[in-house]
Structure 1
Amino acid sequence: MTNDRNKTIPELPKGKPEFNISAALLHIIAMALMLMDHLWATLLPAQDWLTCAGRLAFPIFAFMTVEGYFHTRSFKKYILRLLLFAVLSEIPFDLMYGGTWFYPVHQNVIWTFLIGLSGIHLMEAARKKKKLWLFLPVSALVVLAGVILGTICMVDYYGAGVLMVFIFYFFRGRKWWCLAGQLLTLYWVNVELLGGLMYPICLFGMDIELCQQGLALLALIPIWLYRGRQGYHSKAFQLSCYAFYPVHMLILVLILNYVNSF
């Protein structure tokens, strides 16, 4: 895989016997986890394990969105493609979450990634000036604006989702401090900031509470196994990855309506 902008994450040398996950496989894993979460939200609400598994999907997609920025040959085409599918996904998303064609209080997740990508593009423009006094305040303003915009626009995961995209931008790479930064900041966002449902468990004789949203940190396992290898790639596969989001939501809604009609 060639990197037109930055070579922070090099590919493994050919023939190196080390297990790694390709970008194609990472996308498939994320789509499967998202499907589990949406099955829980529609057809199988009693199966909590599905939404627990689904917690891993968003961080993987956020990571791949950042990787997509650094690997794309045309940022304009990349963001326009996302914009197209954000628009196409809105009605299926509204039908699934709101039960109506128009549900303005919650927008689909692609809008979250679009806000994050726009912010990254601005920060990269400042970084390329190679002036720290410019990059730092621009980055601070972009992060603040992104979080506020994600919150007031009520995109999926709100401002916290946009912040997770920025986390994978600031801590992009395989140096120890990048991996530690991802772990610590994702813990803060998912456990301290988002919080949510807690599961009481007994571990080594101690009663503790496990935060459901905190399971999102397990997404770092497949993310860290990625080494920049693209894997299988074709126009048809790329299109199917984009189309999966609106299509699977629409299918779930149709099945749910069919089941509820009896």
Structure 2
Amino acid sequence: MNLNLDKYRKLNGNTLKIIACICMLIDHIGAAIILPVYQVGVQKNLLEFDKLNMFYKAMRFVGRSAFPIFAFLLVEGFIHTKNRLRYALSLFIFAIISEYPYDLAFNKADKNFMYSANVMFSLLIGLLVIWAVDFFRKELSMSGKKISRIALYPASALVIAIGAYTAHVINCDYREFGIGVMLIFYFFRFYESVSIPASYILLCGIANEFKAFPGFILLFFYNKKRGRDLGKLKYLFYIFYPAHLLLLYAIRYAIYKI
């Protein structure tokens, strides 16, 4: 079934990124400030639990829409980038840079490294898996050798399994479910009436991620355009991730010393 939404498709890639960043910021205010503050009991005399819990739940609800948008745009970026190696290196560098701010913001700095890893690692693993699968599909399938075409499927399955296992072991955000979502967006990128519902159903395998449906709905209104070429300014989206985590930690520590 093809949904005729062409006249409503007003969201380009840059707009979707901004929406995802705003959703993520709102989510992390709840996770990095409200939740830790309540857990240590600092806020009990300032706000009743019901009111605090209402704000917290509302923020986390909004935040659930961020990941599906980022996952979708990663696949779009992979398809259209002129330099996949630079794309992967950018994700890797910012995944490393972001890990300590991530640990500080979410009170994990006293845990062993990789107790859980930030979402940049999830996106990096997804990119590498898609890159490998894309190579097998395009390069090996073009070979005239029958054995090469036969090897395509187990090779792709092995790469996917390794990627999913790695995401699970390092416990990065969304783990193997996130990798699966990106793969669905990749395999069915020309069939959005399949890819969007299927990826949503898969993500629902994680508790509370059924709340991500607004983010998936927004993807139907993507106009398949990147938006204005930002040049080097595109790295602001990368910088925003560790920067906002450090800022939230600094605010929490300045006010509550936790």
Mapped pair 1:179 → 2:193:
yes
2:155 corresponds in structure 1 to: 138
Deviation at 1:235, TM superposition (A): 2.7
Residue number in structure 2 paired with 1:28:
18
How many residue pairs get aligned? The number is 226
Structure 2: unaligned runs, 5 residues or longer: 1-5, 36-52, 143-148
Secondary structure at the residue paired with 1:98? coil
Give the whole-Å Cα distance in 2 for the aligned partners of 1:102 and 1:186: 31
RMSD: 2.0
Identity of aligned residues (%): 31
Whether the aligned pair in 2 keeps the contact of 1:91 and 1:101 (CA below 8 Å) is no
Write 1 or 2 for the structure with the bigger share of helix. 2
Q: What does the per-residue CA deviation read over 1:33-57, in whole Å, with 9 as the maximum and x for residues that have no partner?
A: 1001101102233321110111111
Using the alignment, how far apart are the partners of 2:250 and 2:110 within structure 1? Answer: 13
Alpha-carbon displacement from aligned partner over 1:92-143 (angstroms, at most 9, x marks no partner): 0011123527652011111111111111111111111326533322222222
Shift of 1:145: 1.5
How far has the Cα of 1:66 moved from its partner?
0.9
Tell me how far apart the structure 2 counterparts of residues 255 and 172 of structure 1 sit (CA, whole Å): 40
Larger strand percent: 1
1:74 aligns with: 83
- Is the alpha carbon distance of 1:179 and 1:134 closer, same or farther for their aligned partners in structure 2, counting shifts above 3 Å? farther
TM-score by length of 1: 0.80
- Cα distance in 2 between the residues matched to 1:179 and 1:138: 28
Counterpart for residue 199 of structure 1:
none
TM-score (norm 2): 0.81
Q: Residue 94 of structure 2 corresponds to which residue in structure 1?
A: 85
Distance 1:60 1:137 in 2: 29
Name the structure 2 match of 1:225: 221
Say yes or no: does 1:110 pair with 2:90: no
What are structure 1's unaligned runs of at least 5 residues?
A: 1-15, 197-211
Shift of 1:190: 2.5
Q: Which residue type is aligned with residue 31 of structure 1? A: C
CA distances 1:5-45 after superposition (whole Å, capped 9, x unpaired): xxxxxxxxxxx965420110000000001001101102233
Decide whether the 8 Å contact of 1:65 with 1:117 is kept in 2: yes
Structure 2 equivalent of residue 124 of structure 1: 134
